[in-house]
Structure 1
């Protein structure tokens, strides 16, 4: 029953992906990467929450609470909530920048705004380095889900199946697949999370028996000192990176600035799933102490509480969450390789080369997962620390007049090297998120250098009017 449920849902998602691309077959690279910039607000909403609430929400969030207590839950929820507030104002500007330069990738925006091929390449390499661990993040979650259902699947088989389905999504219809499949994914994800949270409360005999002081230690429910400082700095840091790092993937396909802004209004409603995830995580602390792999706590809890047919619903939601984001990430990487790394590829061939690049990325992500799997929230932190290095460039594009191109490029390089060094050495700064340190150095280089030696004057996106946008495009 469990295997049948997962198989039926995944087959339905593939069918939905094929249906979504029925009108776009034979379309150009714009249709493939950004849906012809035609998505209405409701579809942007589902695309955005489909990518934001990934398998990391179902698997990584409870594992962080299980392994580290309340501090991980607080920063995880806090940064998303703050990001929505910032995104209401920033996301439409990101879309405006893409529209101004007819961009389909973030490196497109950077390269065309500054008329600099080297900056385009540096931005592209930065994002590629950042998105590879993000893809690995999805693979780790999928491996956890599929290998903890009692299925006779090896880790290799798990990641191969996930990679094949993600490839099919993209190959049949580009960005339209993640957009429409996210609707199906959200239904099963919501059902799955609520089922496990409610089952945990019922099994324990009430919420007090799950999260009360008699069953949890103070270390699991409170924080202070370095943990508190880490949570607060992470909330501030990752909320900015949320839209200025990841945003292009689910902002560029919108049909207008208004559609982008409208889509952000209702996104906080989705956060109602977090109380159920917290209950599942805390139930796991008392019911399944000492798990060798904290990433498994949600699925272990679900498997111990639910009958097989309901467990199938949970597994289907988790699997869809991971495959969906994996596909969207692969598409972003494929688009950058075909347009920015190899810009001389003809427009007619870009779609084919994007599909080839998608396949290459999925193979790489699968291999990394098999040889270097780790705690999911650790991988999430690395992704954010690297993606943060495009934030100063975005701020310059959106708001600054005379930032030097060389300063943006140098700041990005300094930031990436610093972020990787701090991650590799596990450096701590009294609790301050290391990503904030690397981002601070990047900002200092970009705006400090430009203050001492201003660059050529450019019209910042935030100050553009309809007339100026048309003049710039011409």
Structure 2
């Protein structure tokens, strides 16, 4: 089992090394962070669409079904289904806007369009704060898998090894390495889900009676409760998905807007895995496999149905799902610092500092997973609440030249204050997700500021294209 796991990890490093060959002719921060905007249709598809599905898909989704989270299933399906058409519409315009200004990050675009260094820093700091928990989430899932793979080994040492593999992806070829390894990750992820799901269905006739109630297990996932919250959360997350910093990097890496639209048109094909993951969760409940946590559902089913070497491949697929997401988040956070918070660095310095920042981010994320810092869990709950707040500013830049930086900053500030107040004061808000209300307040404040202090010398992105 361990030998198969290590073989897959070695293969992923070989793929990243091979990706470096294709980047040999390109240099500079744009090549490192967004692959010089030259990813073909297939690579872009796996990078942008496949990255939607991380370690949480293979562990968290069946865990939610197993624990009786029917509301979780409705929310997850709704969010994924709506996110694809949202990105299919907004994605090509994000690419055009980024290409217009030669942007590598979200703050790059806002700074160039609105001519505001303050706005650039506000968006960069906000994006970094919201991205920080993502690394810890991936390491938390990786910790579960590695603990099952080698229970006698030192967990800090195992996570250090996972961190070194992630750093190697980034250092070898930047976003190109992440794109190539994403192909391997998705092939293994889909393959293992299809295999375990199919075997669960094959063994289904041996089961007797309907599925029983969810066993009482620790750490059941928190899911949206109530229809208003579920529907408003679906809206916030589907819109926010288009504004995630690493998704902008993926969009900037595409060769053109047509590739983006085609990739999103095919995105729902990935959803074939979810009925199988649901079947696996019900299968585990039916046969009564012992579990410590709901997140072990998929691994428990695989261990029950597969030989040892195949189980090693399954564990490698789950870990790869986390490592590829980690590498893309590193490549999103690093330029926020090297390009937007620390001005004046040349291309070589940007890449050097990016690698140092990547190492620091990986170390902090692993430490957070080991310590299980409560603050990170709180930050994660407001990730989509906050990340969507750049949307009104982007739409204003797209449609009108009258909106100014002060209006965008004021809108984001009002939304942030409201969301944090609602979160920590525990306001019910009639069951509505506070992120959606914050988004409405954001848009209203931006509209009022645009009306009161219109920008006289600005042009919309549409007018400039």
TM-score of the alignment, normalized to the shorter chain, above 0.5: yes
SS in 2 for 1:148: helix
TM-score, length-scaled by structure 1: 0.89
C-alpha offsets along residues 304-325 of structure 1, whole Å, 9 cap, x if unaligned? 3322122122111111110001
Query: Structure 2: 5+ residue runs without aligned partners?
Result: 215-223
Alpha-carbon shift at residue 303 of structure 1 (Å):
2.4
| Aligned counterparts of 1:428 and 1:410: Cα–Cα separation in 2 | 25
8 Å Cα contact 1:411-1:441 kept in structure 2: yes
Counterpart residue number, 1:220: none
| Aligned counterparts of 2:76 and 2:63: Cα–Cα separation in 1 | 12
8 Å Cα contact 1:33-1:331 kept in structure 2: yes
1:134 corresponds to 2:131? no
Match runs of 1:12-411 below 5 Å = 12-25=11-24, 27-67=27-67, 69-205=69-205, 212=210, 214-216=211-213, 226-246=225-245, 247-287=247-287, 291-372=291-372, 381-411=381-411
Distance 1:273 1:206, change over 3 A: farther
Distance 1:249 1:342, change over 3 A: same
| Aligned counterparts of 2:320 and 2:185: Cα–Cα separation in 1 | 5
8 Å Cα contact 2:207-2:286 kept in structure 1: no
8 Å Cα contact 2:71-2:225 kept in structure 1: no
Alpha-carbon shift at residue 139 of structure 1 (Å):
1.2
8 Å Cα contact 1:50-1:178 kept in structure 2: no
SS in 2 for 1:266: helix
Query: Structure 1: 5+ residue runs without aligned partners?
Result: 218-224, 470-474
C-alpha offsets along residues 164-208 of structure 1, whole Å, 9 cap, x if unaligned? 111100001000011011111111101111222223334443799
| Aligned counterparts of 1:29 and 1:187: Cα–Cα separation in 2 | 29
- Give RMSD over aligned pairs: 2.6
| Aligned counterparts of 1:257 and 1:124: Cα–Cα separation in 2 | 25
| Aligned counterparts of 1:379 and 1:285: Cα–Cα separation in 2 | 32
TM-score, length-scaled by structure 2: 0.90
| Aligned counterparts of 2:380 and 2:303: Cα–Cα separation in 1 | 25
Alpha-carbon shift at residue 72 of structure 1 (Å):
0.8
C-alpha offsets along residues 283-341 of structure 1, whole Å, 9 cap, x if unaligned? 34455589553333322332233221221221111111100010010111011111011
8 Å Cα contact 2:105-2:336 kept in structure 1: yes
1:5 corresponds to 2:4? yes
| Aligned counterparts of 1:316 and 1:112: Cα–Cα separation in 2 | 42
> Structure 1 stretch 197-206 or stretch 283-292: which is displaced more?
283-292
Distance 1:11 1:428, change over 3 A: farther
